[in-house]
Amino acid sequence: MDQNRANGGALTPEARELLRALDRGAQGPAPLAGSTGGTPAPDSCNVVTCTARQAAQLLACSPGFVRRLARSGRLQGHKAGPVWLIDRTSLDAYRFGETTHDHIAGTSAAA
């Protein structure tokens, strides 16, 4: 007579595969090649960012315009999931008319 799992019988191959898949999922994603220690944060952990919505309030424009500025490279930023995070220093440089080169050199465009 066949034994079923309720009385100590063997698992079916399908049940065994399901348990393996659940175990793999519980262990988290496999590391990507070349990313053994994880991906470092952009530049430094001291980078202060704001969301595209917050940046838009400061610039008096739409969040979509801020996202376009970030995609074009006029603002430094990156996506974290669905949210754009904008580098606050880059945002301030844009707000006050400094070019990226001027900002790095510590001078203003008006000087």
pLDDT in tens, 6-25: 677 787 888 888 888 877 77
- Mean pLDDT of the 46-61 span: 88
Name which of 47-51, 52-56, 86-90, 102-106 the model is least confident about.
102-106
Task: Give the least confident one: 13-17, 55-59, 72-76.
Answer: 13-17
pTM above 0.75, yes or no: no
Domain ranges of the chain: 49-105
2-6, 71-75, 98-102, 106-110: which has the minimum mean pLDDT?
106-110
- List, in order, residues 6 or more apart from 5 with CB less than 8 Å away: 11, 15
Looking at per-residue pLDDT, the higher value among 107 and 86 belongs to 86
Mean pLDDT value of segment 58-80: 93
Do 108 and 102 form a contact (C-beta atoms < 8 A)?
yes
Q: Output b/e per residue, 49-65; b: 16+ Cβ within 10 A.
A: bbbbebbbeebeeebee
